[in-house]
Structure 1
């Protein structure tokens, strides 16, 4: 990994120190991820040294690890994201919700599990939760509704598919293969003590810690800054043998929102949050909170940089600290992209260039990675990237034409039901409805 320049490090440390003071955080660890690990880190307050190794409760960042365990089963062909939960975990009142809906918080499951406040109550089994129809609070696929219960159910699905507990599956299939040896379901020394800080006085009291059992996939894990940085490197593309790169890309696609809209949106992929911040950067990661702890891990994939924060307080820390650290690094030490180099076009060059959807101009381009891009030429238009598909076809990866099939022909491009021609309404092309003379 590449260390940051002294001036950049001072800026980051000053921001971290201010966040710790203003948030009245007993202890705060912050870090920047570049080159596969921690390129910079610092601690303020009562964090023991070496601060990189002190475990903190991750809260909902655990959901990203839980999603990885589900996606591994999908990639093995053991399940499909369109499968209803009932197919793999029968007997719940949410059986008609698909696995993809639960992963993206579009399943309409209640936000919390029934019974006592699960974040402060010793956990139980799935049967012990006593689920009822009241735990389906919204119709599926209608709107985003964050659900801890949904991830508890997904973790139980993984446990039953693998024949052992979810924490064992996560350890053996995700954490250890990534080298995250300081990530555990319960605190292992050195570990921070979680505190609640009084809202009107500078006093504090310790918060309890427990085993959440079936709700563990929603927020159980503890990790050091070094290990959390490794998860950040994973989100930046260093997936090792844990997931295929294409599966990670799928996880990072936002659900229920058009990423071409104006800046300032927030969405959810599959086990990860996706945000476009005021600067226009799109960040992928997750925030987390449990009694006594706040955490955040966000990566800017375009800048190949991530940032994290671990705090031992129930409330008070501004959740925007990782994004602010990323903005500082982008300003002071922007990522140097790889040099452009010529590469062979994945299709005959004669097929590239201007095409027209009716009178609207578009351009078909070859882009790095053996992909194609179709988008408006000189004016806004529907845009998508395409990857090779079967029998010479191309499949939309994002944008309006995501999942659609593009067929190339010297006379016309066929995309869904659209016909793109070399000239506006080319009479030589098979344009539905025919064409007539321009006048």
Structure 2
């Protein structure tokens, strides 16, 4: 089971007025499972997006970028079971077919549809199956369909992932609800992970994009399961634009900061949920790096540790073989790093002081920390005042099994 992660239940995800979600079973890869999701937006909605920086990005990512830049989206269509990546011009044509079919049903333009796919790479998208499922998805459109939608976008996820938060703006309660999927092939570098967050507010597109960029950097860009950046990573932020909802149009104003806090609460929860549900994960790990010259080098070192198979397998074994952490710090690529200033804590246990084993360190205490499901590593660099953190998980036998049998 996921590490300390409780899946959403009925009533836990608050609806966003005007944003309707519908789900269908189209048999994209497997029969009798929800695998097509349609999200319909009101005409007043604004949308922002960030996408994978993998150069081999999927056909739907390419179309989403183009469509977002050209018009106001009216709907999103998401399929699981097939990534439509590594499929060339044929993949683009099939994604366009899906967009055209949904546009025809909704009476809008093809470029007002944003397509998303997740699943197996380098297989032709079964566009006909997805198109055949669209009427069923539209038939059960509902504002309170977030829970079923969270399940419909899953692939190797064990549980659905969703969260609602709220804030006060101009005396009104603003609700933020989001869902995400992802378990393996997780190392978002945004700008297999998909995230959709909606806001009950009026937010101009430019402000919304700025908000999304900031939030992404503090949430999904701080999580990694295996260091593999997916071809399909996409994170979409939607504001319903309801006429009676409060307007947030000034970046860095009090209203913006209130909204940022709520969107960040949802996004950080979802990002951490990806690591907690990492394929076969048994440990959730927070890696904090402090006293850096800037945040970038703190993240660089944290990710070097988080990506180390040796560190991740030691975590699975609850083995305080902590020299592996020092090795990762050393090869992280900080050329002028003075290792004689390095400090390392595992939980509340000081392991390394001034680059060497702390004289009071007792391995049995570190072993007790390693047995926990939630573990925090703290590294001090002795170079400045910057700090940052990354979330990750361990590598278990099941990670290998799940990925070895992924297409079975």
Query: Normalized against structure 2, the TM-score is what?
Result: 0.30
Which structure has greater helix proportion? 2
Larger Rg: 1 or 2?
Answer: 1
